[in-house]
Each structure stands twice: as structure tokens, then as C-alpha cells.
Structure 1
Amino acid sequence: MSKRGVIVTGAARGLGAVVARRFHEAGYRVALADIAFDDASALAKSLSADGDTACALRLDVTSKADFEQARDELIQRWGGVDVLVNNAGASKVVPVMEITAEQFDQVIDINLRSVLFGCQVFGQFFADRGAGRIVNIASLAGQNGGSATGAHYAAAKGGAITLTKVFARDLAARGVTVNAISPGPMDLPIVHESVPPEKLKAVIENIPVGQLGSPSYVADVAVLLASVDAYFANGACWDVNGGLFMR
């Protein structure tokens, strides 16, 4: 490949779209993978009208077969990619004592099972080539047990941080690094739509820097961790939370 390539899951909108756009600006070929294929396709075309440096893939992140199909398609299209960003996520706020088995399984599948499958499929591909980068998007909720986005979401993101360490240890000797990014409250439409203004104000007042984080901050860290020079960053959880959680 003349360019390095990246696949970003959940790239049709929100944080994933910001991450995908930032990688493209950094000179990567970008595969925008999402179950919302039409939205992913529209964004891909806005980045590269001829599809040379950006394409959309229909991907259900709860399906290992879909990850395998995405890998095979990208091998055929570009010879493969060099970076996987496991970004896809979803939740529904439900009090912990009221979470049903169905709700729990759905959130775990989208936020955690997806990380397992992505790391397995692309981690093996990268290991066979002797080089690669995996960046898993976790959450502050997975570190401090915050339930504002649902306890099942927090549990899944905590699991994603643990899987990051497991795969980092397993793949490092074969030239593959695996890191996580743990964003705090972000300035995203979904935050403003789902959090009442008075509650959001209280959240911001508790952030030492006094403002919500820009999704571009997370995207910049992802690009950094994906770089060839980031070979010694491995198995870490990179906090992007304005000092809301320090350790």
C-alpha cells in the first residue's frame, strides 16, 4: 500500500466520524465501518469522491463473520489496513436494578464482544504481517464505575480496557500494539440531547479544565497511538477527561 490504512468501527456518526475524518486528514486510507451503511457511505464520499482514500463497509460489530468479511474486502481493495480503531458503542440509560438480561446482553455485545472480535480478526492479520496498531475506545465509565450511561455500559467499557491489556501482551512480540483511549464527557450532540441542561452544567463544573472535551482530542490521541513511532506505547489506557479522573 502506498498509504497506511485504518478501519474505524461505528464511523458513521458521532465520535467515530470525527476519528475517521482525522485519520483521513493525517493521510490515511480510511474504511468507515458501520451497520448504518448509508450514513457511513455518505461520509466516505465526502472524504473521497472516487473511493480511493475512503470507503464504507457494512459491519455488524457483534458478528465475527462480519469482521472477517471486512478484513477480506480491505485486502482485496487496498491490500489490507495497518490500524483498527474499535469505536462502535451504544447504551440505554437504565437504573442498575432494572437492567434486563436482554438489555445487558445487547450492550455487552456492541461494546465488548465487538472489541474481542475486532482484536481477534485484525490482530491476527497484523501479527501475520508483523506489524499493526489497535486502538480501543473505552470510557471513563469503565474506570470509575459511573452509571450515567448505564451500569451495563460501564461494565462493558471496563471489560474493553481489560481486553486491551490481554491482547497487548499477546500480540506485542509480533509487532502489534494495543492501547485504549478513555474519554470523559465529550462535546457531542448525543450528550446535549440526553443530559438535562442543569445536570450537564453540574458535570462541567466538576471537570478541572471547566469544559466538555472536544472529540478532536480523542481523535488526535488515536492518530498518535496508530503511528509507526508509537511502538513503545502498549497496553495502556490513555485518559482524555480534562482531569475529571486522575490516577
Structure 2
Amino acid sequence: MPATPSAPVLAGRVALVTGAAQGLGLAMAHALGQAGARVLMADAQAAVHDAAAPLRAEGLEVRAVVADVATEAGWQQMLQAGCDAWGFVDVLVNNAARTASTPLWDIAVEEWDALMAVNLRGCFLGCRALGAHMRARGQGGRIINLASLAGQQASATTGLHYAASKAGILALTRGFATELAADRITVNAMAPAAIRSPALEALAPARQDGLLSAIPLGRFGEPEEVGAAAVFLASDAGAFITGATLDINGGRLMR
């Protein structure tokens, strides 16, 4: 008798992914959708609608919304969009972020505040809004916050404000993990580094070679590998992991 095909690992889940118009956000939205989740792709840019179209053409159940993660109104807009479409949201991927490499002596207060508003305040507001929603629903949930190697060790390639925001995300992750554990809501961080992207490939060959030489595994990571990690943390297989940071860096930081 032939075996009954198993259901996709995220069947029945509803995921909200921020910063989903491109890069890692798009890769994670794609991976979650392929794993069976219904996915709300959110971004501050209207291009998120174009990014969602190929996923729908593939047969994935996705929708798109333009919203600002730096405001409480933006999070209410995203949560309402998810609830209007599917009734609830039980997976949050806090990915939206600004990047910057401005030398620390040249960082204007306005630049510092603008970056922190998206990277750190946005993560805090998302954890709080979706954590409260998941708690009220009473069915558990998953929150995945995107940190970075930059928040774990000093680097000349990223701005101090960017690094500080990503270090702050690690503290937020542990705090919300403690607060929400009794509600069966896990909160974890992922810290990618040297993942293949248009920005990385735009670097001069010598700079790419320098980055590559620092990676023990001898290659750059692929966006799909970050997507696979998000699927794992969002699935039942990750149910006993909370308050943790998953390093995705090819061995650049070992601990």
C-alpha cells in the first residue's frame, strides 16, 4: 500500500514577513510559502506587490501590503491585513532593516535615529504587537528576529549604528522569549553573514576575496539557506528552541 504523502511542515500556519520586497526577506517569504504557510509579504516599498506576483504564479498563497514597521499604525495595518485574509497570524519574521556603513565619526544624529527607528524600534513594535495577538489567540506562535554577525563582533564593513541595532535585537529576542514562553510562543534570532546578494556581488573582486578568505567553509551563504533556517524555527521541529541565536555565517563566528 503506498505511503500517504505527508503535509507540508508549515501547513495551516500564517506568516508575516517584513522587508519582503527583496533579498533575504523575499527568500524567507518564498521558503515559508513553499513549506505550506500562507504568507503576508510586507515592505515600505510598493515593489513588494511585484515581488509577490511570481510566488503567486508558482501557486503559493501570498499577499502583499505596504506598511511602515517604525510605527504602531504600520503594525496594526499589517496585523489587520493578515487577519482579514486568514483570520490570524502565528509566525512573524522581523526582517525589515536599513543598512549603513557610515564611519562612526560621520554618523549624523538624524541618520542614527532613522536607522534605529526601522531596525530596533520596528523589531520591538513587531514583537509586541504580534506577541500580544498570538497570546490572545492562545494557540502558541513563532517570532523570528533577523540580527546579524555585525551585532556580535566589531566590523569595519558596517556602521556602528547598524551594529548597535542588531545587538539590540538580540536583547529584545531574549526579553520577549522570557515573557512569552508560558504562552508557547517561541522567540529566536537568526544572525546571517556573508550571504550572496546583489550588494555583495557588486563589491570589487578583491573585496569579495577578502570576505571569502575569512569564512572557514570557503564559500558565501545562499539566501535559500537562510530561508530554510526560518522554516525550521517556524515549524514544530523548532518548538523547544527559544531565546536562542542561530548563527548562519559559514563559521566566521564560532561559539
Identity fraction in percent: 41
Aligned-partner Cα distance in 2 for 1:224–1:231:
9
Over residues 170-217 of structure 1, what are the superposed CA-to-partner deviations in whole Å (9 max), with x where a residue is unaligned? 001011000000001111101222x33212211101100111111111
Aligned-partner Cα distance in 1 for 2:111–2:99:
9
| Structure 1: 4+ residue segments shifted above 3 A | 49-52
- How does 1:73-88 map onto structure 2 within 5 Å? 73-88=81-96
* Contact 1:62–1:113 under 8 Å retained in 2: yes
What does residue 162 of structure 1 align with?
171
- How does 1:62-211 map onto structure 2 within 5 Å? 62-130=70-138, 131-193=140-202, 195-211=203-219
Per the TM alignment, residue 147 of structure 1 is displaced from its structure 2 partner at its CA by: 3.8
Aligned-partner Cα distance in 1 for 2:172–2:38:
26
Aligned-partner Cα distance in 2 for 1:43–1:35:
13
Unaligned runs of 5+ in 1: none
Aligned-partner Cα distance in 2 for 1:234–1:92:
29
* Contact 2:33–2:60 under 8 Å retained in 1: no
Unaligned runs of 5+ in 2: 1-10
Counterparts in 2 of 1:243 and 1:49: CA distance versus 1, 3 Å: closer
Aligned-partner Cα distance in 2 for 1:149–1:240:
17
Aligned-partner Cα distance in 1 for 2:98–2:13:
28
| Amino acid across the alignment from 1:90 | R
Per the TM alignment, residue 52 of structure 1 is displaced from its structure 2 partner at its CA by: 7.7
| Amino acid across the alignment from 1:21 | H
Per the TM alignment, residue 51 of structure 1 is displaced from its structure 2 partner at its CA by: 9.3
Equivalent residue pairs, number: 244
What does residue 54 of structure 2 align with?
46
Aligned-partner Cα distance in 1 for 2:246–2:58:
35
| Amino acid across the alignment from 1:218 | V
What does residue 41 of structure 2 align with?
32
Matched, 1:222 2:230: yes
Higher mean displacement: 140-149 or 111-120:
140-149
TM-score, normalised relative to structure 2: 0.92
Aligned-partner Cα distance in 2 for 1:191–1:9:
21
Over residues 65-87 of structure 1, what are the superposed CA-to-partner deviations in whole Å (9 max), with x where a residue is unaligned? 11012111211211012100000
Aligned-partner Cα distance in 2 for 1:223–1:105:
32
* Contact 2:34–2:60 under 8 Å retained in 1: no
Matched, 1:9 2:18: yes
* Contact 1:141–1:147 under 8 Å retained in 2: no
| Amino acid across the alignment from 1:14 | G
Per the TM alignment, residue 92 of structure 1 is displaced from its structure 2 partner at its CA by: 2.2
Counterparts in 2 of 1:190 and 1:50: CA distance versus 1, 3 Å: closer
* Contact 1:18–1:219 under 8 Å retained in 2: yes
Higher mean displacement: 87-96 or 234-243:
87-96
| Amino acid across the alignment from 1:29 | R
Aligned-partner Cα distance in 2 for 1:97–1:146:
15
| Amino acid across the alignment from 1:34 | D
TM-score, normalised relative to structure 1: 0.95
Per the TM alignment, residue 169 of structure 1 is displaced from its structure 2 partner at its CA by: 0.3
* Contact 1:61–1:110 under 8 Å retained in 2: yes
